[in-house]
Amino acid sequence: MKKPCIITTLSFIIAAIVIAACLNFIFIAAIIVPEDLKREIIVSSNDEADYSMDSQTILLSIAEGKSDMFVQQAGTSSATIVELPPVQWKQADFLEVADAFSKAILHENLDGWKVKEDILFSLDCKDASFGPQHARFTFFKTVNTGQGTSRVEHTIFIDPQNKQIGWWGKTYSPDYGEAVSIDLSRVKFSVDEALRVAEENGGDKARLGVNNICQIDIDMARGGFWNTAWNNWDIGYTGYHGDNLLEMDVSTQTGNYQIIYPKPK
């Protein structure tokens, strides 16, 4: 009489247990991703699109509720660009123009979007008395795709002296929350006020020392000298050969400043 194949039966049972364990591990691994393996992937992007605007009248046009203030540029124009006189816009004016552009061109109301903390303002040193002349903001929001979440980002740059404004966009998926936002309504000292503090505490001497042949860049810096959760304005005066003339942090909450470079003696 033939004996039952006990070994074969046991082998089958063990193999089934091993396969089930592996599938369970794969399922858990798919849900619990180690922090060092998390990667946000760009799943779609929009190339830079440039528009022209009348920077001398645009704030009035926005107040009047007009929507035809931006004209897309078909390509690089061979005509000579005539630079306008410096604008005297405040931080709020740049944001107002960005919001109008988003509504008119991107068909998005920025009320539902957050401002990414990589805000940037800049100007030539010769225009320091007028305030920032260029600005760049990145706005983002999280959307539910049905299979998870994605983060949509729209970056808007504004160059009023050259009558230009434009944007580019990216979508990241999955959204692991890598974008850090800043609540501008809680910023007590705006960028134009921070520039004034810098000018009064060494900035004017730094730029006049090189005959205003330099650039001023102002961006957000988390922590900074005070190492706080609040963002600070990081203001840098840079020569056109890349030499660092002056750098300081100005608190967005108190207006206090600390010179980062050159180190105080």
Q: What is the mean pLDDT of the chain?
A: 86
According to CATH, the topology of domain 187-265 is Nuclear Transport Factor 2; Chain: A, (3.10.450)
Q: Is the pLDDT of residue 102 over 70?
A: yes
More confident residue, 231 or 194: 194
Residue range 30-55, pLDDT digits in tens: 445 455 557 889 999 999 999 999 99
More confident residue, 240 or 77: 240
Domain boundaries, the chain: 37-185, 187-265
Looking at residue 28, its pLDDT comes to: 41
Looking at residue 37, its pLDDT comes to: 52
Q: What is the mean pLDDT of residues 184-194?
A: 94
Q: What percent of the chain has pLDDT over 70?
A: 79
Q: Is the pLDDT of residue 14 over 60?
A: no
**Which pTM value belongs to this model?**
0.82
Q: Which residues pair with 235 in a beta bridge?
A: 218, 248
Closest to 112 measured CA to CA, from 139, 146, 136: 139
C-beta of residue 88 within 8 angstroms of C-beta of residue 131:
yes
The pair of structure tokens assigned to 123 is 């100007």
* DSSP helix/strand/coil, 247: strand
Q: What is the DSSP string of the chain?
A: -PPP-HHHHHHHHHHHHHHHHHHHHHHHHHHS--GGG---EEEEEEEEEEEE--TTTHHHHHHTT-----EE--S---SPP-PPPPP---HHHHHHHHHHHIIIII---GGG-EEBS--EEEEEGGGTTT---EEEEEEEEEEE-SSSEEEEEEEEEEEGGGTEEEEEEEEEES--S---B--GGG-SS-HHHHHHHHIIIIIHHHHHTTTT-EEEEEEEEESGGGT-SSEEEEEEEEETTS-EEEEEEEETTT--EEEEESPP-
| Least confident range of 126-130, 170-174, 230-234, 235-239 | 230-234
To which residue do tokens 């704030």 refer?
59
Q: Which residues pair with 49 in a beta bridge?
A: 167
Computed over its alpha carbons, how large is the radius of gyration of the chain?
Answer: 27
